[in-house]
Structures are given as C-alpha cells and as structure tokens.
Structure 1
C-alpha cells in the first residue's frame, strides 16, 4: 500500500492570491500534502497569468505541498507548447500534470519520459481500456498516477458501482490514485455552478469526513482531495482526523455505558471474525482481554437495531465482554447496548468483511 494523503484545490483564475496563501497555510496546519490546480479555464498565455500560477505553486512548495496542474489539449495550443516539451510546467514548480482528456496513448506514454520527472496523472473516470493502451506503449509506470473527475452539477457524479469498476482498472496495476470530496461551504470551482465538487454523487451531501471514510474504505483510492474552495477550518480539521488506513466509526454512547464497556469500544484493535455471521459483526478478542472484568446488565431489554453496538454482560458466560455490531434486529438480555454507530456512517458497515480491521471511537 502506498502512503495516503489529503489534498485541496486552488483556482487561480477565480481567486485572490492572499486568500489562496491563507488557505494553503491552513491546509498545511492540518497535514494536507497535495494541491489540485485547474488550468482548464486559463484565458491567455501572458506572463502575468503564468506568474500567478508560479507564485502560488512555489508558495505551496515551500509548505511541503505537491501541485498537480489540470490540463486539456487546447491549453497546449493556448500556451504555444508541445507535448514533447513540458519545461514550462517544470518552471512553474509543478509536481505533475493531470490530463483531463485522453490523447492517443502513445503521447501519454512519451510524456512519462519527460526529463523533469513530472508525474503524468490520468483521468480515472471512464471505464474504458485507456490505461492498458498507454502501458502498451511502454510508458514509465512510476510516473503515472490516476485521478478521478469531480462533478459540479447536482445529479451528475459517478454512481458507486461505476466508480469501483473505473478505479479497479488503475489499482490492478498499482497506480497511485486520487478522488474528490466536497466541502459543504466552498463555492469556488472551475465553472459557475456550485452544487459541490465530489467524484461520487452519493458523497455530495455527506459530511466531509464521512466522504473520505467511504473513499478510503473502498481500498482503491490513495489521495482524497477537496474539490471546491474554500473548505472551512472545521472541515480541514475533520479530514485530518480521519484514519486513512482502516475504517474508524463513531459510536454515540448510551448514558449507562460503564468504564469497562467504554474501554472495550475505544481501545482494542477490532477485527471481524473470519467465520462471520450475517446477524452481527463480532469482535471477539475483548472477551479474552477483559475476561476478568465485571459487566452488570443494563440497556438489555429493548430489541437491538441495525448499527447498535452491544457488549456481552455478566450473564453471557464465556461471551462476556465480546463486542458486537448489530446487522439484523434481535433481542438478547445477555447483551448490553452501549451505543449506536453514527447514523450517517452506518452504511459503511458494509465494508466490514471477514477479518476486516476497524476502530471505534466512543463519543
């Protein structure tokens, strides 16, 4: 697995330099590492325009960011440059170029041999044999990344199953990948439609941390980038607290939860038993670790609902202090309800398969 990072987006043709710099500083505070910078809407090739890009990219470089410039074929014409000479982007300080549209495969392959070490990032949001075509021209794969599109118009983002199929094409070859989440407050993007900028349509109205959890839970996305600007500090902070490497779900605790149960929720490295059942997610090691800890009955009379977190009480014999997450409603007085998975995260339970490692955080 490659290292996973957070990114944000800057739109120099629509933004203010000082505000951009403040945004980069705020992202740096919360550990963001990537900048997505759109050059799709550049209006001319004047030195003033390029200087604006250069200044913000190099400011980001000083803060430890890597900048990927989003390009379309017509930009090469506007700038009066060829695909064989990428020096202008190197001089701007960019790490890589994201190609919003496909060329012919041979062109992309040749670009990966540019003498500046610029990474060539491919559009992942088409379920076609695009990547195989490029690789057949003997591209230099260490210099190929993939990045999905984002979708400003409500109702136009990728459906989940299609997103998965597109992403698998890149992950099959171990290509570093990225996708977009959407700020709920940011209003700036490349176009004059501001319905958010996610890759997945189902992410559009979700809290930004839940969007990131979904993308990372697929196991197919390395970098998560905020598509629109400017995200709030609360959103940046929330993203910085998401575990990129394993699913971490928030538990809303019942008032009667005791300290043993709170410890059982928060402390262990949970994993689902390999011999799974459809009724519950079983995390069985706590019953071993906390075998000697008393756990009197409470909150054990009502039927347990989907997403409830329960722990075996003193009446459950060898299963005392086993943690379970309820998948099928049932009743069992030998279990205490200790909390419920946060409502907008419950759909993520589908990602907990046999042997899946996960963490819980009790709020």
Structure 2
C-alpha cells in the first residue's frame, strides 16, 4: 500500500492566509493527506461552510486527500444526520473521521454512503471494535483507521499497546494512520498543546526520527503531523525521507577514507539472513570492494551500539564488510568510520533478517 505524508489544519484556531501557505508548502514537499479538525467550531453553519469549503477546494487543487475530524456534538450543532453525509461531500471532503464510535452496525452502514465518503475509525483502543463493524459487512474500500494524538505530556500511547491496536486494522488490510509532532508548531485543537504525537516516546524526538519509526513498524501507511505549523525545514526533511526503507543518519569520522565513504553512502545495504546479536552485517559490499585496500585506523577503541565499522586489510576475506554495532566489543580488524545519531538508535530494533537499509550523511 503506498505510504503518504500528511499535515493538520485547525481552521478555528488559525489564520486562513497562513493555512493556505502551509498547504502549498507541504504539497511542494510531497505531502498528500490533510487532517482537518471540526471539533472546535463555534460559528454558524453558513460561516463554517464558507470557511471550510475554501480551504478544502484549495487542498483538492493541490491533490490532497481531505479527512474531516468530527464528533456527535458537531452533527447536532450543524443539524447533520449520520444517515445523510452529503454535507461533508458538498464541502469537498473525501471522508470523515469518527472521533467516537457507535454500535458497529451504524459504522458499517455509513461505509455505504452514496457519496462514497471514507469513514475513518479511531484506532487507539485495543478492543474488538473493528471486528464488530466488519461483522456487519462494512464496505472495506471506504474504511480507514487513524490513531488519536495526545496534547498532554505523558499521555501518549506506549509502543506495545500501539502495535496491538494497529495490528487489528492491518491484518484486515485497512489503510492506517498515526500522528507525529513538530518541535516548533504551537497550534492544535485544545488550549493544552505539549505536542501532538500518537506515541509518547516521540514527543521530543526530531520529526524525521518519529516518521522513520512509524514507517519502520510496517503497519502505518500515513504519517500525519498533528500540530500546526511545522517549519519549512521539517516539511522539507520529511519530504526527502525514504518511506519504504530505513535510512540512518550517519556522522562520518574525518579519518574515514574514500572507500569507506563510498561503501557507506553509495551502496544498498542488506542485513544477512543468518543474523548475529553483536552486529548488523552488510556482506555484499565486501565482494564489490574486495580489490580495494583499506588500511587500519580508529580500530583500538571499544565499539559501542550505533557505531558503524568496516573491515580493514587485516580482516582477510571480510575486508570492506560493513557492520553496525549492536553490542559493545573490540576488534582491531575493524575500522570505526562513524556513528548513527543517538535519537535513531531505537530504530536498530527494526533491522531484522534481510532488512534493506541505507545511510545519509549527518552534516
């Protein structure tokens, strides 16, 4: 399933001109999904329609898929029935996210709406909610799942719970989404905004590390920035991200040589299928560079988790094999060439047998 990047907009807490600029900037960086909150509307129906329609029309012209976040009080406030979703179709939206659920039969019936709007479910509960909906023969092509975000420090999901919730949706082959948090954005749906991630562990991490983690789980299709507005630098960094394989941020030592630089940055790395606990071994590169000399250097210290090493001339047939250190050890036959960034060390847990990965240089 194609993986996408998304942004969030809060029309009732933000400036329309800034929203328009944000939509253009994100689209220019490859973002194609828009989460738009309708949970905080206070204006009358005509003003709401005018405001949201303008933004949605712009978003659609930029090829965004637009999902509106709704709750029962919004339906009551605007005089909308769950049995007639034409209001949202008339706005130009592609779907609605149900912040609260019903009895299963209601959600299943909603997926057959004549406007073919997507019905997105709240994924952040490890209960048989989805199974119940599917038992009523829901129209699966129009059913998505999306996690919550958590504005309050310390209230985001733990990873094991997150995976259990998400797997309920992924094993039914439904599109899934989760939120990451900009480190500079200040706008969300509520007055408390300590960031807007789904996972608590992400709250203070660089935004690219959060996205890499979600994609690396293999169970999240759409990664959405929960708060607004992410910086231009954050949007550009996410837009440049490889969504389909792990790319580690590597700080190369100035003592590394041209052969090691080429091995690190210009090659496709694959972890051997017969794995070891000490290191991640990328062995094909040693065959490509078997004829290249590699004198020993930086080879007497203890290697630590996240260090990247390359076999030197004293390593026989293993010369120029690249390894990522998982457990501390010493071996003078290996040259230390650089370090994976501290924030990305947890991503090493996602490098399993035959996992493909690459490096990019940290300046």
TM-score range, shorter chain: over 0.9
2-structure distance, mates of 1:48, 1:191? 21
**Partner of 1:76 in structure 2?**
75
Shift in Å, 1:16: 1.2
2-structure distance, mates of 1:34, 1:353? 30
**Partner of 1:11 in structure 2?**
10
1-structure distance, mates of 2:124, 2:45? 32
Aligned residues: 362
Q: Bigger CA drift: 188-197 or 266-275? A: 266-275
Structure 2 unaligned regions, length at least 5: none
1-structure distance, mates of 2:122, 2:304? 41
CA root-mean-square deviation: 0.9
2-structure distance, mates of 1:75, 1:250? 44
Calculate the TM-score normalised by the size of structure 2. Answer: 0.98
**Partner of 1:146 in structure 2?**
145
**Partner of 1:224 in structure 2?**
223
Task: Flag as ranges the 4+ runs of structure 1 deviating above 6 A.
Answer: none
1:76–1:82 contact (8 Å) kept in structure 2: yes
Post-superposition CA distance 1:5-29 (Å, at most 9, x none): 1100011111111111011011111
User: What secondary structure does 1:265 align onto?
Assistant: helix
2-structure distance, mates of 1:41, 1:129? 29
1-structure distance, mates of 2:13, 2:301? 55
Shift in Å, 1:45: 4.2
**Partner of 1:287 in structure 2?**
286
**Partner of 1:54 in structure 2?**
53
**Partner of 1:175 in structure 2?**
174
Shift in Å, 1:49: 1.6
Calculate the TM-score normalised by the size of structure 1. Answer: 0.98
The within-5 A match list for 1:142-221 is 142-221=141-220
1-structure distance, mates of 2:95, 2:45? 21
2-structure distance, mates of 1:179, 1:347? 18
User: What secondary structure does 2:13 align onto?
Assistant: coil
User: What secondary structure does 1:154 align onto?
Assistant: coil
The within-5 A match list for 1:197-346 is 197-346=196-345
**Partner of 2:361 in structure 1?**
362
Structure 1 unaligned regions, length at least 5: none
Shift in Å, 1:43: 2.1
